[in-house]
Amino acid sequence: MIFEALGAILLGLGASWAALQRLPHRLPSRRLVLAAGSLGSLFGAVLTHAALGPGHAVATLIGAVAVGAVLLSLLLRPAGHGLRRPIPS
């Protein structure tokens, strides 16, 4: 489980680094994105490991990356070049 956790953290850092490279204008601070990606992937690894049990290292890492990516997607801000309608008062 320790190697799965370390692998999940590294994969989460990689996913958050890739998100920062592709969408820097739509994400909050770099520190927050890196922390959210790694902690989200760690949580995903624990959750997947609890659901599947031991002996499924590859599936655990896939689940870790999936949960980390979902958490990173929650940090995205709107693009800002769409239609803006005034809020009726």
pLDDT digits (tens, 9 = 90+) for 11-68: 999 999 999 999 999 999 999 999 999 999 999 999 999 999 999 999 999 999 999 9
Q: Is the pLDDT of residue 84 over 70?
A: no
d(CA 72, CA 53): 26
Q: Compute the CA torsion angle 18, 22, 23, 28 (nearest 10 deg).
A: 30
Query: Phi and psi at residue 67, in whole multiples of 5°?
Result: -70, -40
